[in-house]
Amino acid sequence: MNPNICCTTGSVRVPSVSFVAIPTNWGIQTRAYSDGDCNVLRVLAPPAYQATVCHNDPDGFARLSGAGYGFSSRKRQADPTEECAAEVCTSSKEPDFLVLEDDTKYALADIPEPLIETLV
């Protein structure tokens, strides 16, 4: 997925989101949102320079409804949420597959909607 696009779960809420296969030389800022789509910034993380970054809801509840990333600005910002607000999602997209903890992958297009809600 391209930067500054909201990957949204729609009405389904999840307790965590992860970003995988990130080139370790990329300085990306990862974000997780709540309150439907990418409406309320819940977690903001600076570049970790790791191949995988995972965000859990700070309270441990299934509140997250979207996620996104963007390349960190080289300019120093007084408040990182200002940078995020200025560059947040320009559009949204629903995920196209689900990866379980044991690395089992499901193409969401092949799964009936009631089963998706059970899996998530």
| Digitized pLDDT (tens) for each residue of the chain, 120 residues in all | 788 888 887 778 888 888 988 999 999 999 999 888 888 898 889 998 999 999 988 777 888 988 999 987 654 443 444 444 444 555 666 667 667 767 777 776 766 655 555 554
- Going by C-beta distance under 8 Å and a sequence separation of 6 or more, which residues neighbour residue 29? 44, 45, 46, 47, 69, 70, 71, 72, 80, 83, 84
Structure tokens at 102: 């044991």
Q: What distance in Å separates the CA atoms of residue 52 and residue 81, rounded to the nearest whole number?
A: 22
Closest-CA residue to 11 (of 116, 102, 82, 85): 116
Q: Which of 94, 89, 88, 73 is nearest to 11 (CA)?
A: 94
Q: What pLDDT does residue 80 have? A: 42
Going by C-alpha positions, the residue among 84, 82, 75, 76 that lies closest to residue 29 is 84
The whole-model pTM stands at 0.63
Radius of gyration for the chain, computed over Cα atoms and rounded to the nearest angstrom = 14
Tell me whether strands 16-19 and 40-45 are parallel, antiparallel or unpaired: unpaired
Tokens of 28: 């990306």
